[in-house]
């Protein structure tokens, strides 16, 4: 199981109808044979799947990718390892298309805002 670095760029969302190139995510994912995030690989991997969130005028936020069989994929961001289990979660919905450049995914922020991101990169981490 090899993890890939997936880069997402904001296309549109509440207050940002035309997107913002300075708002993006970089997340590590292992993909199954169909190009979808691999929940089995996540469960078997002892190392965290890293995530970074970039926003204008703020330093990158460090986080991790999580999976829950009932609720799907989400990303947690916190200031420290001790805080991460209580950190707000951004729900990541990869949809039914494979993870590849040009496809779109939805990210629901902890405040409920749903944002559309385009996959702009999939490569070695």
pLDDT along the chain (125 residues), means of 10: 92 83 92 96 94 92 92 82 65 94 93 92 88
Residues in the chain: 125
Total count of domains within the chain: 1
The residue segments making up the domain with residue 73 are: 3-124
Say how far apart CA 54 and CA 32 lie, in whole Å: 27
Give the helix/strand (H/E) hosting 82.
Answer: none
Contacts of 53 (CB under 8 A, 6+ apart): 24, 25, 60, 61, 63, 75, 77, 90
Burial of 123 from C-beta contacts in 10 A (0-12 / 13-18 / 19+): exposed
pTM of the model: 0.88
Residue pLDDT, tens place only, 67-99: 999 999 999 887 555 555 566 789 999 999 999
């Amino acid at each position: 199981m090899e993890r890939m670095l997936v880069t997402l760029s904001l296309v549109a969302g509440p207050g940002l109808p035309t997107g913002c190139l300075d708002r993006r995510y970089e997340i590590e994912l292992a993909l199954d044979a169909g190009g979808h995030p691999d929940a089995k690989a996540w469960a078997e991997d002892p190392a965290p799947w890293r995530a970074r969130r970039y926003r204008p005028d703020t330093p990158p936020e460090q986080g991790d990718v999580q999976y829950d069989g009932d609720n799907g994929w989400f990303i947690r961001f916190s200031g420290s390892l001790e805080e991460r289990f209580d950190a707000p979660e951004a729900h990541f919905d990869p949809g039914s298309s494979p993870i590849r450049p040009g496809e779109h995914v939805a990210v629901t922020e902890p405040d409920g805002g749903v944002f559309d991101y385009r996959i702009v990169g999939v490569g070695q981490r």
